[in-house]
Chain A
Amino acid sequence: AQSVAQPEDQVNVAEGNPLTVKCTYSVSGNPYLFWYVQYPNRGLQFLLKYITGDNLVKGSYGFEAEFNKSQTSFHLKKPSALVSDSALYFCAVRDPDSSYKLIFGSGTRLLVRP
């Protein structure tokens, strides 16, 4: 079955330190992968996506993600975390069985301590 896993419910990091939010996927065919961020009581904001090409994708707010085909992973990273990065992060993958749908992970809460 097609799926996306975010193995960590919460990630804690000190401001200024690098952060990583993990995502692994299991889909048939070439994956289209996405990261979204959600602030409290707000909708999801698109951060970045991987479709093809360079395995390192750069996105909004200084975030980047690395596509690793052999490990079927698409981890979100940032070199230096900000308190304002504290939010809920979702990884998603195109559903290869549908022309329209995304499969979302369960979300990871990032808490950046001052």
Chain B
Amino acid sequence: SQTIHQWPATLVQPVGSPLSLECTVEGTSNPNLYWYRQAAGRGLQLLFYSVGIGQISSEVPQNLSASRPQDRQFILSSKKLLLSDSGFYLCAWSAIPGHREGKRTQYFGAGTRLSVL
């Protein structure tokens, strides 16, 4: 079965420090991968998605970047954190269209609570 791992679970970082959040998926190959941010425990904002190694699409201009160095690894980064980067970050995966698990169902990791102070 497929599993998604996301770490760390919580992170407290000072303003101006770098960030690296990691997400890995097991039990599937060539997944679509997503990074979301959830502010104030409510709505989800899609930040990045990736359909393959090295292929990153950014949804909104921001202080963050994403990379996909391996098929099942997705990293969210920042060179200098801002206060406004605080939030709950969620990684998700879905099967590629046409795969038997397709139809766009996304499966989420447990999330990382980031506090920038």
A residues touching B (Cβ–Cβ < 8 Å)? 32, 34, 36, 40-46, 49, 51, 88, 90, 94, 99-102, 104, 106-107
Interface residue B66 (Cβ < 8 Å from any Cβ of A) = no
User: Would you list 29 pairs from A and B whose C-beta atoms are within 8 A, ordered by A residue?
Assistant: A32-B104, A34-B104, A34-B105, A36-B108, A40-B41, A41-B88, A41-B113, A42-B111, A43-B6, A43-B90, A43-B109, A43-B111, A44-B44, A44-B108, A46-B108, A49-B105, A51-B103, A88-B41, A90-B44, A94-B103, A100-B34, A100-B94, A101-B46, A102-B104, A102-B106, A106-B42, A106-B43, A107-B42, A107-B43
B residues touching A (Cβ–Cβ < 8 Å)? 6, 32, 34, 41-44, 46, 49, 51, 88, 90, 92, 94, 97, 103-111, 113
Given contacts A44-B90, A88-B41, contact A100 B49 (CB under 8 A): yes
B contact residues around A49 at 8 Å (CB): 103, 105
> From B111, which residue of chain A is reached at the shortest CB distance?
A43
CA distance A45 to B42 in the complex (A): 15
Contact call B49/A101, Cβ cutoff below 8 A = yes
Contact call B111/A46, Cβ cutoff below 8 A = no
B contact residues around A42 at 8 Å (CB): 110-111
Contact call B103/A32, Cβ cutoff below 8 A = yes
- Measured between C-beta atoms, what is the minimum distance from B52 to chain A in Å? 11
